[in-house]
Structure 1
Amino acid sequence: MSKVFIIDNILFAPFKGLWWLAREIYNRAQQELFDEETIQKQLAALQVAYELGNLPRDEFEQQEAMLLDRLRQARAARTLQSPGEEED
């Protein structure tokens, strides 16, 4: 019986590795996408670009709204993950 499990492990190892890799990429992308510090830096860079005249007002407002929405989502996710901790 144990030989069957060994063969199964050998046959499915590439798929398990690929699944692990896909899951890691997804988790890292989510972490980067909803990292509050990164979003705040992007908001600051956006503000500077707008103030220097490198960005039209409508584009600034559109990108700012998107970043603020991501920031709200990141804070909500953080609150759900650690309800006992207070927010800064």
Structure 2
Amino acid sequence: MGLIGEVLMLPFAPVRGGLWAVSQVLAEAERLYYDPATVRAELARLEERLESGEISEEEFDRQEDELLDRLETALHSGAGTDNGTTR
């Protein structure tokens, strides 16, 4: 964008900066959500909840399936392994 374009877009700089910040937060949240270590830790906590009687076997199976789907997605896409860099 040329100098005139930059000057004309200057009033929108806070909006562009805000959108950039939101996109960075979303990218980091997604990276953490699909991080294999995070998913494995959640699986361990889920098993502890089952053993303590906090949740039923059916609830355990449902949540375990969701976590295993996340783990499979993470392992196939390589999510959580890029150390915060964009893909």
TM-score by length of 2: 0.80
1 or 2 for the larger relative contact order (CA 8 Å, sep ≥6)?
Answer: 2
User: Counterpart in 2 of 1:74?
Assistant: 74
- The equivalent residue for 2:44 is 44
Aligned partners of 2:61 and 2:73: how far apart in 1?
18
Detail structure 1 runs of 4+ shifted over 4 Å in the superposition. none
Equivalent AA in structure 2 for residue 43 of structure 1: L
When you count helix as a share of all residues, which structure comes out higher? Answer: 1
Which residue type is aligned with residue 43 of structure 2?
A: L
So what's the TM-score if we normalise by structure 1? Answer: 0.79
Could you tell me which residue of structure 2 aligns to residue 85 of structure 1? none
Instruction: Give % identity.
Output: 29
Larger C-alpha radius of gyration, 1 or 2?
1
Give the C-alpha shift of residue 19 in structure 1.
1.4
Distance (whole Å) between structure 1 residues aligned to residue 22 and residue 52 of structure 2: 40
Which consecutive unaligned segments of at least 5 residues does structure 2 have? 83-87
Q: Which runs of 5+ in 1 are unaligned?
A: 83-88
Matched letter for residue 19 of structure 2? W
Aligned position for 1:35: 35
In the aligned structure 2, how far is the partner of 1:51 from the partner of 1:34? 25
